[in-house]
Chain A
Amino acid sequence: MEFLNWYNTPPLISSVLLFILGFFVFSKNKKSVSNLLFFVICVATVFWQFSFFILFSIHNSVLADFFVRTCYSGIVLLPPFFFHFVYLFVGRTGKTSKSFDRYLIYIIYLVSLFFEIILFSSNYFINSYRIYSWGFYPSAGTIHPVFVFILTLTILRMIYVLYVEMKNTKKLSDYRYHQLKYFFLALLFFILSSLDFLPNYGISLFYPLGFLFILIFLIIIAYAIASYRLMDIKFVLRSSSVYLTSLVLTLVPAIFLKYLFDSFFPQYSYWIDSLIVIFSISVFPFFKDRIYRFANKYLFSSLYDTKTVIKELSNKLGSTLETGTIYQTVTDILAGALHMKAVSFLTCGVKSKDVQILFNSGLKVPAGLKSELACKVIFGTYAGIGKMILLDELRNKPGRQDKAIAKVLTEAGVEILVPLTVNDKSVGIIALGPKESGDTYNNEDIDLLKIVGTQTAISLENALLYEETKKFNVKLTKEVERATHELKQANDELKTLDRAKSDFISIASHQLRTPLTVIKGYGSMMLEGSFGKMPAPIEENMRKIYDSNERLINLVEDLLNVSRIESGRLQFNFEMGQLDEMISSVVEELTPNAIHKGLSLKFNKPKKTLPPTKMDKTKLRQVVINLIDNAIKYTEKGGIIIDLAQEGEKLKFCVTDTGMGIKPDEISNLFKKFSRGVETSILHTEGTGLGLYVGKMMMEAHGGKIWAESDGEGKGSRFCFEIPVVNSVANAKVIIANPKR
């Protein structure tokens, strides 16, 4: 401690720091002239400051005479070096008169050389030394003011050049502008150190404060390098440097205190040492924390542009709805900006309550990370409520659980956990490993991660909703398939039932007809006399049996037809045929019935041959039989007239009787199922009313219509139908079966 004192320490510190900074800048790019020049500026300044250190330390006048010159040998070189540096620094985009400045550089170098020579060969520049309270100090010679004058001119030129450059670059790029700004500021402080010239002229200050300004210069330059890549140095402060700085900041006051107390209270040395140690230990974390925050805010810098990263992320996330793609995209973009070693997307299981890995790129996953505790702490305490977790912060939390998780995260190599929350709902977290460079995550990174977290969360939420919708669709499709299957089964069962019903109708009709056929056949043969002539009363009764049997056959026919109509199974066997022939045969068949009842039955055949028409002969015959039989049935005296004629494109058939007639209000009900005229039910109970209903169905199937007319009760009635004539070949082809093959 004898060696150092209050006066010689500051120049020593600035010398050391200057040299370190200069060498650092130089070492970052040895090929760059700018960096070399900066180094040289530092070295020249070191000459100045280190000579001061020696001058303030020695008492030997011979040495003092040498070191005042050594000191100035450095100072003299500063104007050309600085000017040259500014020239190069500005040069890339410089718009000022370049050739002028280039000449100026040569001139200034020459002037400096001239002063160097004078400095060491005569006393015109530096006239030995002066002695101040702080030690030896250079004394200004006769031409010293000339140097100061030239220096002033150089400084003014530099300021002008920098100012112009700053004005020009302001719009171009933020970084460049900041670089210039900080260099400019640093330069101004450096210039202030020229206050040190005053003691040269015997104007005594409290102390040559130049070193103070040089230190400020150093700090500004260092800051510009760290924050704005001054001289293209991509230097990012690491947490280790924060640690070191904190250590220095704790140790220096500690040593100073020890020194102070030792000199005043040597007798309490042991106690004081102990107190200092306790003090240092308790103060260290505080310093570290503060410096870290400060460094984080002002010094640590990123090499990406936040806006660009966010824009890219937005663009890419905007075009996907697949969670897998989202994880990959975010990972790629973060890796591009932050260059971290690992990225992982984690979430807390809904049922299992442990951490689940959604996506992993490079993260080790220790068992502890998957635990329920991790889930609880990470999601419950922090990420769930949108709080970002920095491992460094977590380590310093007092909670036992926090410590445990911090340990797990350290083991997993997680540095930072970014929450993914949308509307206070957590969709997971992004776990980031350390950066490849070993740098810490700075404030800019954290701001970026916050935005990335929000955007990713929104995208993931959308993707999850989309997936849910897709899943729901799949579920829905399955459900529909199941229902369809059930319906199909039911339908198959119904079809089987239907077939059974149809078979039943078919069999029933067959079975019912068999005995009727026997009665009809033998009856007809007996009446025809096939078994010999019968006595009149027997024959008459036999006819009654026969007639009733005929009704029964028709009734069975009607019933079966109704049943088929109801089940939609009524099939038609359309073929081309002559309606008049069919009617003739029916009339022929029914004439005996009419005669027997004492009625006349007259068929007015059309005068000219009718065109053939498309019809189901059996079904149509059934209708005709029904209508004529009804007429016979409901007529007590008089007769029945049957008309058939072509009317335009239609064939019209009518049965007119002189029977009981129909009330006008009953006509509309006649063709409904199970409906009869009120009077008919009194007179004839055997009718079911099915005949007209079936007739209506048959007519509709033939594209025709059926209707009834009556002038009223007791005034007879007329039943008619009409069907369209078909004479075109195209329509004839519709024939389904042709029995006359």
Chain B
Amino acid sequence: MTKKICIVEDEVNIAEMYKVLFEQEGYEVRVAHDGEAGLKLITEYKPDLVLLDIIMPKMDGFEVLKKLHCRRLNDQMMICVLSNLDQRQDMEKVYDLGAKQYFVKSHITPRNLLTRLDRMMAFAN
């Protein structure tokens, strides 16, 4: 079964970049460009994996995580935060809110990210 990935990212170029690669590798990808849309998408689409940015318009990633946490949706899917924030307190916060992993975008190439995610999903299954 094709794995469903949700990318919540306000920067269109970045979101497109990951979408291209992930679709090339056979994933089903949906993109949302702000927190609110992201939350709606995640709730309706019920993906296997969520790549969530933090700094976004309308609703930030923390808020999205909180809402998902409240709806217990984070148990049904793997949520990874993909942000360019790299401060310890930000990381601690997202782990506390139920995120599985934190990636700093500028530290990792899309290919490397995909490798890591593949490994994580295989491990989860």
**Which A residues lie at the B interface, using CB under 8 A?**
506, 509-510, 513-514, 516-518, 520-522, 524-525, 528, 530, 553, 556, 571-573, 618, 736-737, 739, 741
Chain B residues whose CB sits within 8 angstroms of the CB of A572 once the complex forms: 88
Residue among B11, B55, B88, B104 facing the most chain A CB atoms (10 A cut-off):
B88
Chain B residues whose CB sits within 8 angstroms of the CB of A509 once the complex forms: 84-86
Given known A-B contacts A513-B106, A530-B20, A553-B106, A518 and B85 have beta carbons under 8 A apart = no
Q: Is there an interface contact between B88 and A517, defined as CB atoms closer than 8 Å?
A: no
Among B12-59, those with CB < 8 Å from A are 13-14, 17-18, 20-21, 24, 55
Q: Is there an interface contact between A520 and B84, defined as CB atoms closer than 8 Å?
A: no
Task: Give bound CA distance, A499 to B85, whole Å.
Answer: 16
Chain B residues whose CB sits within 8 angstroms of the CB of A739 once the complex forms: 91, 95, 101-102
Task: Give bound CA distance, A524 to B107, whole Å.
Answer: 12
B-side interface mostly: helix
Q: Is there an interface contact between B109 and A510, defined as CB atoms closer than 8 Å?
A: no
B4 lies within 8 A of chain A by Cβ = no
**Which of B14, B83, B85, B102 is the one whose CB lies under 8 Å from A521?**
B14
Q: How large is the interface on B (under 10, 10 to 19, 20 to 34, 35 or more residues)?
A: 20 to 34
**Which of A514, A516, A571 is the one whose CB lies under 8 Å from B89?**
A571
B118 lies within 8 A of chain A by Cβ = no
**Which of A506, A518, A618, A741 is the one whose CB lies under 8 Å from B17?**
A518
Chain B residues whose CB sits within 8 angstroms of the CB of A524 once the complex forms: 109-111
Chain B residues whose CB sits within 8 angstroms of the CB of A513 once the complex forms: 84, 104-106
Q: Is there an interface contact between A517 and B111, defined as CB atoms closer than 8 Å?
A: no
A-side interface mostly: helix
Chain B 81-115: CB-based contact to A (< 8 A → 1; otherwise 0):
00111111101100100000110111101110000
Q: Is there an interface contact between B17 and A522, defined as CB atoms closer than 8 Å?
A: yes
Q: Is there an interface contact between B87 and A571, defined as CB atoms closer than 8 Å?
A: yes
Chain A residues whose CB sits within 8 angstroms of the CB of B111 once the complex forms: 524-525, 528
Q: Is there an interface contact between A618 and B84, defined as CB atoms closer than 8 Å?
A: no
| A-B CB contact pairs (8 Å), 8 listed | A510-B83, A517-B106, A521-B14, A521-B110, A618-B107, A737-B88, A737-B91, A739-B91
A-B pair number, CB within 8 angstroms: 72
Shortest Cβ-Cβ A-B pairs, 10 listed: A513-B84, A524-B109, A513-B106, A517-B105, A573-B88, A521-B17, A571-B88, A510-B84, A517-B106, A518-B13
Task: Give bound CA distance, A513 to B104, whole Å.
Answer: 9
Closest chain A residue, CB of each to CB of B94: A739
Residue among B21, B86, B101 facing the most chain A CB atoms (10 A cut-off):
B86
In the complex, what's the smallest C-beta–C-beta distance from B31 to chain A, in angstroms? 15
In the complex, what's the smallest C-beta–C-beta distance from A523 to chain B, in angstroms? 8
Q: Is there an interface contact between A518 and B88, defined as CB atoms closer than 8 Å?
A: no
Task: Give bound CA distance, A528 to B114, whole Å.
Answer: 13
Q: Is there an interface contact between B21 and A518, defined as CB atoms closer than 8 Å?
A: no
Q: Is there an interface contact between A573 and B55, defined as CB atoms closer than 8 Å?
A: no
Task: Give bound CA distance, A188 to B84, whole Å.
Answer: 126
Chain B residues whose CB sits within 8 angstroms of the CB of A530 once the complex forms: 20-21, 24
Chain B residues whose CB sits within 8 angstroms of the CB of A517 once the complex forms: 14, 84, 105-106
**Which of B85, B87, B92, B106 is the one whose CB lies under 8 Å from A516?**
B106
Closest chain B residue, CB of each to CB of A573: B88
In the complex, what's the smallest C-beta–C-beta distance from A224 to chain B, in angstroms? 102
Given known A-B contacts A572-B88, A739-B95, A618 and B14 have beta carbons under 8 A apart = no
Chain A residues whose CB sits within 8 angstroms of the CB of B102 once the complex forms: 739
In the complex, what's the smallest C-beta–C-beta distance from A592 to chain B, in angstroms? 11
Chain B 44-78: CB-based contact to A (< 8 A → 1; otherwise 0):
00000000000100000000000000000000000
Q: Is there an interface contact between A506 and B88, defined as CB atoms closer than 8 Å?
A: no
Q: Is there an interface contact between B85 and A510, defined as CB atoms closer than 8 Å?
A: yes
Chain A residues whose CB sits within 8 angstroms of the CB of B88 once the complex forms: 571-573, 736-737
Extra A-B contacts (14), CB below 8 Å, given A521-B110, A522-B13, A736-B88:
A509-B86, A514-B14, A514-B105, A517-B14, A517-B84, A518-B14, A520-B106, A522-B17, A524-B111, A528-B111, A737-B91, A739-B95, A739-B101, A741-B95
